[in-house]
């Protein structure tokens, strides 16, 4: 029982941490000619989403989905995803 609570807390921590790192990585990728960084941001967001599914509080999941949507829209607008 205690192990499950600790694992959920760790998953939440890692999800939020990955989401913040992805958000910080997305900032320079919004600059023209650096849009390829959005691919790395999307990979980080997917990993963060996987960690964010398990805890009860979904703050990490929300951060990762929001960052992932912005990165995906930026890739679509920059013709990185056809």
Contact 37, 29 (CB under 8 A): yes
Give pTM, 2 decimals.
0.89
- What tens digit of pLDDT does each residue of 47-81 get? 999 999 989 899 999 999 999 999 999 988 887 76
């Amino acid at each position: 029982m205690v192990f499950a609570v600790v694992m959920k807390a760790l998953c939440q921590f890692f999800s939020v941490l990955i989401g913040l790192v992805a958000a910080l990585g997305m900032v320079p990728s919004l600059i023209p000619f650096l849009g390829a960084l959005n691919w790395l941001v999307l990979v980080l967001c997917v990993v963060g989403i996987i960690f964010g599914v398990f805890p009860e509080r979904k703050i990490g999941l929300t951060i990762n989905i929001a960052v992932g949507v912005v990165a995906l829209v930026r890739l679509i607008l920059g013709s990185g995803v056809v």
